[in-house]
A and B are shown apart, each in its own frame.
Chain A
């Protein structure tokens, strides 16, 4: 057992509830919850098969029509084939990882995206720390960014094809009627006629289509069976989305905005939910893909964005104005390509910090954001593994960073030969004083407890192919970079 590696936490979130505080995280194909006070593991989702028939039934309902094989990665999980009963292998979920995990502001609901089945799942987060799944909604295209509006009522979901949908957090009871009229009737007749411009070949094809259309019935793709609205679209892969409220200068009402970023260097500023078709402006200035948007809650007029560029940009986003270009790597050195993995804003002990992790880097870069929007570099934090997720416990002046305990620090593909001991899934750092952003590592007993129970194991015997799939599920920003290739 000790020889095996453990799935790191891909996402990590501190949840503050009136009666107790929790830590939730996604590792491998599962969700975990812990007591924030003791580190006691409270629940795992999906549960083992014996205790929950419901979960299994749901899983089987899910449409596993995705072409990608996920079985391979599943075998990499818990136990060897000898101890695996047939029921258990059936219960292994249709996804290999949970790349997005977020909660409502009140901590009552958890929204998670399971990767391969493109399914947005909403859970009620119970007082005892367990997850009760309320809904699962399979999106037409792979979601790449999810956020919840500030009133906790609506999920905004951006996808691989650049579309942004709004979904009610809690779907209504009424079965949803697709608003689009099925166009089957119209389409059974080809839209082209012999009066439209054609080449000879096209004309022939058209004749054939017209012959066929009398016999064949057009296949109707069933629409989504739940309420959803298309808010806006980029013709590009959508990478991040932010929902921001700004006080309106002319009235007491707040103005809501949706900020969306894509692979083609655009940040679009649209109006909020009901008027998302009105583009207020664009924040243009990046020269490579954008992967992260960060609008601090305590300074919503500023935006820090990063991606494939070797710098961050700080924006006064409502004006589309760049305030600052902040280098991420030593400009003099010819460093390899960088990609921003995460940007987090936190306010600890009077310090307003922006924390930045690069893809596959064990160094957490620290900045302070001044009132005028200036980003000032501070001493970085060195971690024992690549930074994956981050959450802050502001009342304790502490941040928790989930680190990659599988790969060697500084690389996205080289695996450790043996588990680091003690196996570190999460590291905690506290701001020392309120005079500057100085950190001290806290080895709280909470973390020890979390580490002692661990997550699911990844055997060291995992094959190259399976390793690559696991790597890609955590480190996939490289695909966003444009290849300088052939053109037509």
Chain B
């Protein structure tokens, strides 16, 4: 497969929720056929993915996963500009219930500050710049009881991932249903999606914890992908709007935009000032995973997280954000399945493998806050 098809970066206006409007530019010219085709594809894919498993399982036997070629977008977004972003005023204003219907608190009285239902547990894992979602899909079965969210600034890519997760959930529900129908003891009534998913989550994971291949429509994945979701956001600006202090146990930053030019380094997702925000959201003992194929960026990461001090840096970075992190040893990483997923399941990771490139991994553990100075 060749590299990214070079698409002209035509901005798309469709949001995941807007169903049918093909946004015509103000000039009244009809949209180019390519975009029209793309928009139609996306609409159908989104509808098909969310099809409810009712009686006619045979009719929609195979919900197809969306194709990436209809969701391509330029690989870079300016993190400093005001995108039209939706973000909660505070973490307590975030509507997580619509993202994780299987984990909604059954007590309807339990609502958050904007009146939506609370969850049974908090989101704990974040993939910053999740792209097409390979990492999330890979981790979903590995940590079926952990709520995970991917954050992505590019609209089209997020569209794809939202549709993909929906399709995966529907596939899993259908499979679970057909399996239960084949068993004599199971009830024939149509289960609601949520209860169905709950049942899924409770089934002991007979599937191996190996990384599930999302394209293979075979195995039941523990959790049925109910534990992953994706949100459009600019994490450089709005991370604290989504997560409260010490809420997270893992943050992933996989193959970040390298911003090769020195002039663009301030747009990098890793910097000492941003690391302070990651430290805020990460609980002591929590892990921050990074992987990149750019050696220079790897050293940049090490430099900004403590491990590699510049020549004249103060000892061990005392007085800087570096004192909040320690690097996790290689031996520990070898035992960590998340590292494996990060190496192999992400789209960029696969691409690097095809390209026979190098992968540089660095994981940091959040330390306790030091005493007040």
Contacts and interface: CB of A to CB of B under 8 A. Distances in A.
Interface of A: 161-163, 179-181, 183, 186-187, 190-193, 195-201, 218, 230, 232-236, 248, 253, 255, 264-266, 268, 270-272, 274-275, 277-279, 281-282, 284-285, 287, 482-488
B61 interface: no
Contact of B3 (A192, A200, A230, A232): A200
Contacts of A234: 273
Return the 7 tightest CB-CB contacts between A and B, nearest first: A233-B273, A191-B296, A277-B321, A195-B357, A488-B11, A487-B84, A279-B280
A199 B276 contact: no
B82 A488 contact: no
Nearest to A287: B89
Given A195-B356, A278-B369, A487 B293 contact: no
A482 B82 contact: yes
Given A195-B356, A275-B372, A488 B77 contact: yes
B258 A191 contact: yes
Contacts of A191: 258, 260, 294-297
B351 A197 contact: yes
Given A195-B356, A196-B352, A277-B272, 4 more contacts: A186-B296, A277-B279, A278-B369, A487-B13
Interface string B260-288: 10100010000111111101100000000
Nearest to A488: B11
B348 to A, nearest CB: 6
Contacts of A162: 273
24 contacts: A181-B310, A187-B262, A191-B295, A193-B294, A196-B293, A197-B3, A197-B255, A197-B352, A233-B271, A265-B89, A266-B240, A271-B373, A274-B319, A274-B373, A275-B373, A277-B275, A277-B324, A279-B245, A281-B245, A284-B89, A284-B241, A485-B82, A487-B13, A488-B12
Contact of B79 (A161, A187, A195, A235): A235
Given A284-B240, A488-B155, A199 B4 contact: yes
Interface of B: 3-4, 6, 9, 11-13, 73, 77, 79-80, 82-84, 89-90, 154-155, 236-238, 240-241, 245, 255, 258, 260, 262, 266, 271-277, 279-280, 293-297, 310-313, 319-321, 323-324, 348, 351-352, 355-358, 369-370, 372-373
A488 B320 CA distance: 36
A279 to B, nearest CB: 4
Contacts of A163: 273
B3 A198 contact: yes
Nearest to B292: A196
A192 B294 CA distance: 6
Given A287-B89, A487-B84, A180 B280 contact: no
Contacts of A488: 9, 11-12, 73, 77, 83, 154-155
B342 to A, nearest CB: 15
B294 A484 contact: no
A236 to B, nearest CB: 6
B264 to A, nearest CB: 11
Contacts of A197: 3, 255, 293, 348, 351-352, 355, 357
Contacts of B255: 197
Among B77, B266, B323, B373, find the residue whose CB has the most chain A CB atoms closer than 10 A. B373
Contacts of A233: 271-274, 276
Contacts of B297: 191
Given A197-B355, A487-B13, A235 B274 contact: yes
A218 to B, nearest CB: 8
A193 B11 contact: no
A284 B143 CA distance: 31
Interface majority SS (helix, strand, loop, mixed), chain B: loop
A161 B3 contact: no
Contacts of A248: 372
A192 B264 CA distance: 14
A235 B279 contact: no
A264 B236 CA distance: 11
A318 B262 CA distance: 38
B295 A193 contact: yes
Contacts of A482: 82
A161 to B, nearest CB: 7
Contacts of B266: 161
A197 B296 CA distance: 14
A163 to B, nearest CB: 7
A265 B85 CA distance: 13
A271 B370 CA distance: 11
Nearest to B299: A186
B200 to A, nearest CB: 35
Contact of B312 (A161, A179, A193, A282): A179
A449 to B, nearest CB: 48
A71 to B, nearest CB: 29
Considering residues B3, B6, B12, B323, which has the most beta carbons from chain A within 10 angstroms of its beta carbon? B3
Pick the most buried of A162, A187, A233, A272: most chain B CB atoms within 10 A of its CB.
A233
A230 B276 CA distance: 12
Contact of B80 (A235, A266, A275): A235
Given A266-B240, A488-B83, A275 B155 contact: no
Contacts of A264: 237-238
Nearest to A286: B89
Nearest to B277: A279
Contacts of A486: 11
A267 to B, nearest CB: 10
Nearest to B297: A191
Nearest to A233: B273
A255 B240 CA distance: 23
Contacts of A180: 310
Nearest to A237: B80
B320 A277 contact: yes
Contacts of B90: 284-285
B304 to A, nearest CB: 11
A329 to B, nearest CB: 21
B6 A201 contact: yes
A192 B258 contact: yes
Given A264-B237, A279-B277, A281-B245, A255 B372 contact: yes
Contacts of B373: 271-272, 274-275
Nearest to A184: B262
A256 to B, nearest CB: 9
Contacts of B272: 230, 233, 277
B6 A199 contact: yes
B369 A196 contact: no
A285 B89 contact: yes
Given A271-B372, A277-B321, A277-B324, A181 B312 contact: yes
